[in-house]
């Protein structure tokens, strides 16, 4: 076990606590569940038109703060694939899947599990299984990522 | 007020995704790669995020109302439907393909290059067609 691993874990925990703090704030102050796919999806399909300003404000904070951190602190290497077919395929699956399931990693994973919601726990199990299968196929079998 | 607090919550969420390494697709894929060089960092991220939110839910469900005087979202019916299972599985497949999920895709949009924009555009396209797919799935299960 190297020192970098322990640093990663510590940063992971600190970052996780910040994510939890954000979810707690949004819940206790705004009375809303912090689910990224739901906040975006409601704007995309019009189902969240009545509180569009709140959604846009959230997404602006979500994009601007890490953008400033990248500018002023360090620019992280995101190791994103350059394969356009993969980017499009993955984007479509994530968009369709999260809207069918009504949630993603933040909504079902963070907010659902912490509420001890059966739906959140089941969703998390299925997207982790899906993710694991994808990594096996695309990294180990096809070797494209 | 609502918009200011939404901006702050989004900003803290983004800072958390940045600090934790969730914007790095290699770390995400490393976590999902249980048969390869498994990287447990994301378990700390998810664990760290669940702890404060668990207590926030306890407070929320006791108070019934949020501080800006609006109701706390009701608990959905504990029904495990087809859409939940199929949708989550599809989402997982997409997530594992390249290592991006909705929150980090927005958080990294300013420094993720053209690829990040292509992903977000495709995700939005997917969200646009999702209601039609949902209707088809429901029709197929009804017949």
pLDDT digits (tens, 9 = 90+) for B40-97: 899 999 999 999 999 999 999 998 899 998 899 988 888 889 999 999 999 999 999 9
Number of domains in chain A: 1
- Nearest chain B residue (CA) to A124: B88
- The DSSP-derived string for B36-71 is SS--THHHHHHHHHHHHHHHHHHHHHHH-B-TTS-B
**Cα–Cα dist B101/A62, whole Å:** 14
pLDDT bin (cut points 50, 70, 90) of residue B124 is very high
Interface test with A, best of B2, B4, B8, B16 (most A CBs within 10 A): B16
Q: Which residues 64-103 in chain B show a CB within 8 A of chain A?
A: 65-68, 70-73, 75-76, 78-80, 83-103
Place of tokens 């700390």: B44
User: pLDDT truncated to tens, each residue of chain A (145 aa)?
Assistant: 445 667 889 999 999 999 999 999 999 999 999 999 999 999 999 999 999 999 999 999 999 999 999 999 999 999 999 999 999 999 999 999 999 999 999 999 999 999 999 999 999 999 999 999 999 999 889 988 7
- Cβ neighbours, 10 Å, residue A138: 22
Directed axis angle between helix B41-63 and helix B2-20, to 10°?
A: 160
pLDDT for position B82: 92
The secondary structure element, H or E, covering residue B107 is helix B102-107
pLDDT for position B34: 84
DSSP letter at B77 equals: P
The secondary structure element, H or E, covering residue A58 is helix A52-72
- Compute the mean pLDDT over every residue in chain B, rounded to the nearest whole number: 94
Tens-digit pLDDT profile for residues B18-28 = 999 999 999 99
3-state secondary structure of A48: coil
DSSP letter at A50 equals: G
pLDDT for position B140: 83
pLDDT for position A1: 42
């Amino acid at each position: 076990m190297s020192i970098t691993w322990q640093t990663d874990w510590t940063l992971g925990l600190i970052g996780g606590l910040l994510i939890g703090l954000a979810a707690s704030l949004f819940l206790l102050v705004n009375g809303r569940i912090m689910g990224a796919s739901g906040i975006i999806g409601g704007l995309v399909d019009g189902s969240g038109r009545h509180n569009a300003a709140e959604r846009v404000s959230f997404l602006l904070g979500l994009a601007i703060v890490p953008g400033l951190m990248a500018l002023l602190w360090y620019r992280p290497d995101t190791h994103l694939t350059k394969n356009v077919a993969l980017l499009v395929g993955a984007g479509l699956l994530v968009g369709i899947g999260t809207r069918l399931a009504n949630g993603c990693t933040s909504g079902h994973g963070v907010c659902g599990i912490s509420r001890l919601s059966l739906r959140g726990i089941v969703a998390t199990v299925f997207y982790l299984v899906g993710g694991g299968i994808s990594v096996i196929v695309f990294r180990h079998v096809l070797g494209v990522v | 007020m609502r918009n200011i607090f939404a901006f702050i919550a989004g900003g803290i969420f983004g800072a958390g995704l940045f600090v934790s390494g969730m914007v790095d697709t290699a770390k995400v894929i490393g976590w999902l790669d249980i048969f390869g060089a498994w990287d447990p960092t994301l378990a700390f991220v998810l664990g760290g995020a669940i702890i404060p939110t668990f207590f926030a839910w306890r407070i929320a469900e006791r108070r019934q109302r949020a501080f800006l005087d609006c109701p706390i979202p009701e608990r959905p019916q504990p029904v495990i439907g087809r859409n939940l299972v199929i949708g989550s599985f599809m989402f997982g497949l997409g997530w594992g393909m390249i290592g991006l999920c909705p929150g980090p895709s927005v958080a990294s949009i300013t420094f993720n290059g053209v690829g990040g924009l292509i992903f977000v555009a495709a995700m939005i396209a997917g969200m646009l067609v999702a209601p039609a797919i949902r209707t088809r799935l429901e029709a197929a299960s009804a017949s």
